[in-house]
Amino acid sequence: MAAAAAASPGRVPALPEHASWVSGQARAQYSNKLELMLSLVGYAVGFGNIWRFPYLVYAHGGGAFLVPYALSLLFLGLPLFILEMGLGQMFRQSALGVWNKMDLPRLRGVGAAATLCTFFITLYYNVIMAWTIYFLGRTFGAAFSRSGLPWGDLGEQCPESLLIVRREAAQSPWIIDSRTGLFNVSHASDFWCPLSGLPRSASQVPDGFVAVFSRPSSCPGEAAVRFWQQEVLQQSSGMDELGGIHWGMFIAFTVAWLLVYLTIVNGIKTSGKVVYVTATLPYVALFAFLVRALTLDNASLGIQFLVAPDFSELARPYVWGRAATQIFYSLGVGFGTLIAFASYGERHSDYARDAVTVSLINCGIRRERAWCATQWTRSVPNRHIYPRRLRGVPSARLLGP
């Protein structure tokens, strides 16, 4: 290198494409730009897009929530995303080593803290993966045994429902639909419900009404809740009752960690190939769900419910804080992972454009998932809604997990 510099005075010799900017040590690199982009998209788009974002829209002003959300993206999330991508690409180091390259060794604790946070988040994300694998196993088990989905329905075991009926109409044989065991919609004006939630006790009966109990012939929602609580979680009464080993979940959790190991065992040589499946397959499934959701009855009402704005919510600082939190968490800034990803990318890539592209994809997918949740649930999404609604989809066993 000294000879080359002497031969060309005033010129800095070019570093090898795969060399570290400072130390000159070789660093692995993604085979192509697509692997980096898929890794970034797969990292940024996660469970929060299905579970958390639709709930935040429902709870904080509908379409009005997109105002603080978009501003948080523009002034907080995107600048930090670009900064982390730039640091990783320039210094070719992870969140721990980048501080040494910037001659700020005292700030290595920031990188260590970010790495530790990522580790703890990985622990509970793997629990969610284990739940998915458990559902997958039970779904294929039902398919091979030619039985229904294990969370399908309780049938005759459905619990009784409490209905609060106007006293004058309580003795009418038409007040309850004999086919379903549910209230007759044509007599909806004869029923009473509290302002929030559902009536759970006969003590809630107001004057002029009486409590009527009816057993529905089908209760897929209750079946999903029972399957989740009794067979998936197997919750005990408390920490003083540890219970035994849930062998199904134990196997699922082991498989989840084994998949993680196989993905990262050879670094980006393997993870860069795995993302072709893990980062694209969810979008294919989401597109299928979106098409299905838009073909349901009253789909337009669901979209209207999602986007109808309540601008009075914008006067609450809490709403702005929730929007900023969602941006930070969904883009994954501050965890050091973006620095690591970018350090394996091309040295001369346009990292600002990459950051903008990933952010827009992230926000677009979040909107699509919110639409799906709105059409399918019309309520706050939770882990019970998905298997319940899935029963009505053709070939449900293929989509069961």
Q: Answer yes or no: are the C-beta atoms of 182 and 213 closer than 8 Å.
A: no
Give the pairing type, strands 161-166 and 209-214. Answer: antiparallel
Q: How far apart are CA 49 and CA 59, in angstroms?
A: 15
Beta strand extents in 161-215 (DSSP E only): 161-166, 191-192, 209-214
CA 136 to chain centre: 17
Candidates 128, 99, 124; CA nearest to 112 is: 99
Give residue 200's pLDDT.
Answer: 67
pLDDT of 71 strictly over 80: yes
**Quick one: which of 289, 284, 280, 288 has its CA closest to 372?**
289
Question: Which of 58-67, 128-137, 170-179, 275-284 is predicted least confidently?
Answer: 170-179
| Cβ-Cβ contacts under 8 Å for 386 (sequence gap 6 or more) | 376
Q: What is the pLDDT of residue 286?
A: 78
pLDDT, tens digit, 9 for 90 and up, residues 181-217: 877 777 778 887 776 666 666 666 788 888 888 888 8
Taking 70 as the threshold, does the pLDDT of residue 170 lie above it? yes
pLDDT band at 392 (very low <50, low <70, confident <90, very high): low
pLDDT range class, residue 150, cuts 50, 70, 90: confident
Instruction: Decide if pLDDT at 377 tops 60.
Output: no
Tokens representing 306 are 């999602």
User: How wide is the angle at C-alpha 127 spanned by C-alphas 124 and 131, nearest 5°?
Assistant: 145
Residue 211 CB coordination number (10 Å): 15
Residue found by looking up tokens 């992870």 in the block: 94
Q: In angstroms, rounded to a whole number, what is the distance separating the alpha carbons of residues 234 and 238?
A: 12
Whole-number pLDDT of residue 13: 39
pLDDT score of 104 more than 80: yes
What pLDDT, in 10s, does the model give residues 362-374? 777 655 555 555 5
